[in-house]
Amino acid sequence: MGACAPGARFAGSAMTRGAGGRGAAPWVMMGPVTEHPVPALPAPGAPANAPTAVAPDAGAAPEAAAGGRPRIAHPWRWLLAWVALGILAFIAAATIPVPKVIESPGRTWNVLGTVQSEGQSTDLISVSGAETYHAQGALRMTTVAVSGCPGYPVTALDVIHAWFDSDEVVLDRDQVCPESVTAEQQHKVEQAQMTSSQDAAVTAALMETGLADSMVLTVRGTTQERGDGVFKAGDVIRTITPAGGQTTTLTTYAQLQELMTTIVPGAQVQVVVSRDGRDITLAMTTLAPGRDSGREGSLLGVMLDVRAKSDVNATFSLSDVGGPSAGSMFALGIVDKITPGDLTGGKDIAGTGTISSDGTIGPIGGIAQKMAGASNAGSRYFLAPASNCGDVLGHEPEGMEVYAVSNLHEAVRAVEGIAADDASSLTTCQAVASR
């Protein structure tokens, strides 16, 4: 007789041929059917009443070899796998350094106030050799907190957080501190910049207040292009005479800069220097400025220490802060301390900017973060380098008045105007941008 294959299923109009004995007639089913277990036949030679086994449904789950429990694939196993991968990815994002730098608002210091040094409170700026006056209010130097440089790595998680913080900015590491520079080298550079800015601030402040009327130009070293052994470290430059020209006695750094713009590269000049207590005349050829320097005229090829010719001096009690950008506020602080009256009128005024010995205030980086830091510290007024106005616009904290300054004299006038609640003569960055 014909038989349906054990466990066979039929649905719809499917057809299946039976698997009975040889010569059996086909069994064709059309339409929906009901499945029935098929009894097995006794094995040949077995007693007729021998027990028979029922074949299992082909669609049933197989039984385990031991214990008889079905093997079922659980969906939660895939969920656990994805969770584990997510945890590993989070750990990697939170621990593996990436070559990025994050700049955020840093601390501020009132240069008219005090700091803790070796467990004692001391003036941030101390002036000697001149009468000083107590100052009210605040002249606040600002900083940028930088993460990602040697010794201060950042992770992908830090970078993602910074992207969503309007007061932070993410930069490529090479823009700020190349990987080839060690933490120690970076620290030395920043400390040298800070010391140089402090020296320039003292000179600029003494010249601004009239406590000095001339400068001493001392050779610190020579450029690679000069490198001819003409100058020696410690030489004090006194006069310069171009071939066929007049002798100029140098009393300020600005005077030297202006003179060199009138002398063409390759010109013969004689320079009188004071060396070991006596004057020596040096003959040399002037050098061409670098193509991208933007300078006119020529160069002597020397690096100078420029100081005011005065017995007045200032020292600074500030550690663990580097870079040149506090120069303008240092100079304002000295001016306030050595002049009668209260320059700020009790106002809290912040600012930033490099300074040169002639009082020129130059651009800095991270001004948006510095304005945010000043606002967080309670300052309502900010003095920005005029050359940074493009970075200021659109980033001014709410309620803060920002004024542009190009030199120390303008900065002093700006503080006086703020103190008097009279900003009519002050320059805003909007005015600078519209020029």
Active site (catalytic) residues:
325, 370
Tokens of 77: 């196993």
**Burial tier of 101 (Cβ tally within 10 Å: 0-12, 13-18, 19+):** buried
The answer to whether residues 273 and 231 touch, using CB atoms and an 8 Å cutoff, is yes
DSSP state of 229: S
What is the spatial distance between Cα 116 and Cα 362, in angstroms, rounded to a whole number? 29
Question: Helices (DSSP H) in 96-182: which residue ranges?
Answer: 156-163, 173-176
The beta strand positions in 20-161, using DSSP E, are: 97-98, 100-110, 114-117, 120-123, 125-128, 138-147, 154-155
Tokens of 277: 């207590």
The answer to whether residues 262 and 286 touch, using CB atoms and an 8 Å cutoff, is no
What is the spatial distance between Cα 176 and Cα 103, in angstroms, rounded to a whole number? 10
What is the spatial distance between Cα 134 and Cα 112, in angstroms, rounded to a whole number? 9
Q: Element (H or E) spanning 280, and its range?
A: strand 278-285
What is the spatial distance between Cα 48 and Cα 20, in angstroms, rounded to a whole number? 20
Tell me the torsion sign for CA atoms 119, 123, 125, 129: negative
Q: Is 372 left (phi over 0), alpha (psi -120 to 50) or beta?
A: alpha
Tokens of 114: 């005090």
Contacts of residue 418, defined as CB under 8 A and 6 or more positions apart, other chains included, come to 344, 345, 347, 349, 381, 401, 403, 426
DSSP state of 428: B
Amino acid code (one letter) for 144: V
What is the spatial distance between Cα 208 and Cα 332, in angstroms, rounded to a whole number? 10
Q: Supply the DSSP string of 67-92, one letter for each residue.
A: TT-B----THHHHHHHHHHHHHHHHH
CA distance to 39, 46, 61, per residue, from 52 (Å)? 8, 10, 22
